[in-house]
Amino acid sequence: MRILLVEDDAKVASAVGSALASSGYVVDTVGDGESAWFKGSTESYSAVVLDLGLPNIDGLSVLRRWREEGRDFPVLILTARGGWSERVEGIDAGADDYLPKPFRVEELLARLRAILRRSTGNASPVITIGPLGLDTRQMRVTRDGQAIHLSPQEYRLVSYLMQHAGRVVSQLELTEQLYAQDFERESNAVEVMVGRVRKKLGNNMIETRRGFGYIIEKPDA
């Protein structure tokens, strides 16, 4: 899943960005409100981690602009402002959760997982679809209880399809969610990866809808 991290403190941005990448996310990082607004308005993200105290345009104004434009990705606010009134203002502006500074990276990751689950309609951190299991905390995929060895990119692919099970996901959407913007990839990179993953999961788990994309069907669909 692709995450936009908006943080003007270079040390905080580096620490959080590294933690997100280590947890299997593709991360784009910006340090000011104007860049954040532009990226969020023009790129596809699964979620945004947004600091409020930003140069050029403050975080709340950026968030309000996104919501006015109909951008509905979940947003986790980070801020040094600890008062309850600021928290209420952030939630009313369209934030999904709020984490005051200083914070532990482990809590940020847990809160991010939670808002991502809610956005895809999954209440549990463990998703089960037929014989497949996805543990978003341990970044592990199993089939019939047996762990499947996946590369980080393969895990991102399976995780995204399982968290959006029952919906056809286009090749373009997968490309945007699996690769950083500046990463050079072959035009058929997703197709090749799906082929590799099918061999590991079982050929019947990921279906191709010609001209539309890929889908992991829910058993009751």
Beta bridge mates, 29: 5
Q: What is the pLDDT of residues 63-91, one digit of tens each?
A: 999 999 999 999 999 987 666 677 788 88
In CATH terms, 126-215 corresponds, of 3.90.1580.10, 1.10.10.10, 3.40.50.150, 1.10.240.10, to 1.10.10.10
Q: What is the pLDDT of residues 135-193, one digit of tens each?
A: 998 999 999 999 999 999 999 999 999 999 999 999 989 988 888 766 565 668 889 99
Tokens 């960005």 found at: 17
Report the alpha-carbon distance of residue 182 to residue 26 in Å, rounded: 11
Q: What is the CA radius of gyration of the chain?
A: 18
* Biggest CA pair distance of the chain: 53
pTM for the whole structure: 0.83
- For residue 199, give the H/E element and its range: helix 189-201
Other beta carbons within 10 Å of 195: 12
CATH number of this structure's domain 2-120, picked from the four choices 1.20.120.10, 3.40.1010.10, 1.10.10.10, 3.40.50.2300: 3.40.50.2300
- Tokens 């956005």 belong to 119
Question: What are the sequence ranges of the domains in the chain?
Answer: 2-120, 126-215
- Provide φ and ψ at 191, rounded to 5°: -60, -45
